[in-house]
Structure 1
Amino acid sequence: MIYERAVPISSERHRDWSLEAGRNYAFAKEVNSVPLLAAEFIAAATDYAIVFAGDDKNIFPSVILGMRANENNAVDAEGNWTGGYVPAFLRRYPFVFARSDDGKTFTLCIDEEHEGFNKDGKGERLFDAEGKRTRYLESMLTFTREYQGLFDRTQLFCKRLMEHDLLKPAQAQFSLPGGQSAQLGGFFTLDRDKLKALPAEVLAEMAKTDELELCYVHLQSLNNLTPMARRIAASQAAAPEADEAAVSEDA
Structure 2
Amino acid sequence: MKAIMKAFNRAVALDSSIHRNLKVKMPENYSFMKNVEIVPLTYSEILSATMYYPVMFGLQEGVVFPFAVTGINGKNIFLKENGEWKVDTVPNVCKHYPFGVFKEVDEYTIIFDEIYASEDGQRLFDDEGNETEFFFTIKQGLTELARDFHDAEECSKELFEGGYLKPLNLEVDTKLGKMQFHNTLMANIEYLSKLQPEKLYTVNSKGYLLILHAHYLSLRNFKLFDIFAEF
TM over 0.5: yes
In the TM superposition, residue 119 of structure 1 has moved relative to its aligned partner by 1.8
Match of 2:150 in 1: 152
Deviation at 1:7, TM superposition (A): 2.9
The residue aligned with 2:3 is: none
Name the residue aligned to 2:110.
108
After superposition, residues 1-251 of structure 1 pair within 5 angstroms as 1-54=6-59, 57-66=62-71, 68-99=72-103, 103=106, 105-113=107-115, 116-120=116-120, 122=121, 124-165=122-163, 166-176=165-175, 182-186=178-182, 187-232=184-229, 234-235=230-231
Total equivalences in the alignment: 224
Instruction: Give the residue type in structure 2 aligned to 1:47.
Output: Y
CA contact (8 A) 1:170 1:189 kept: no
Amino acid at match of 1:222: L
- Shift of residue 150, structure 1, vs aligned partner: 1.4
Q: Structure 1, unaligned stretches of length 5 or more?
A: 236-251
Deviates more, 1:85-94 or 1:50-59: 50-59
Measured in 1, the distance between the counterparts of 2:124 and 2:102 equals: 18
CA shift, 1:36, in A, is 0.9
Q: What is the TM-score when the length of structure 2 is the normalising length?
A: 0.83
Matched to 1:131, the amino acid is G
Q: Is the 8 A contact 2:108 2:146 kept in 1?
A: no
8 Å Cα contact 2:54-2:69 kept in structure 1 = yes
Unpaired segments ≥5 residues, structure 2: 1-5
Q: CA deviation at 1:190?
A: 1.1
Distance 1:156 1:11 in 2: 30
Amino acid at match of 2:158: R
Match of residue 245 from structure 1: none
Q: CA deviation at 1:210?
A: 0.9
Whether the 8 Å CA contact 1:23–1:80 is kept in 2: the answer is no
Q: Is the 8 A contact 1:16 1:119 kept in 2?
A: no
How far apart, CA to CA, are the structure 2 residues paired with 1:77 and 1:175? Answer: 21
Identical pairs, percent: 25
- Report the CA distance between 1:227 and its aligned residue: 2.6
* Alignment check: 8 A CA contact 2:168 2:185 kept: yes
Contact 2:125 2:131 in 1 (8 A): yes
The two structures have a TM-score, normalised by structure 1, of: 0.78
Change (3 A) 1:9 1:164: closer
8 A contact 2:36–2:74 mirrored in 1: yes
Question: d(CA) in 2 for partners of 1:15 and 1:163?
Answer: 44
- Partner of 2:112: helix, strand, or coil? strand
Distance 2:215 2:207 in 1: 13
| 1:127 Cα deviation after fit | 2.1
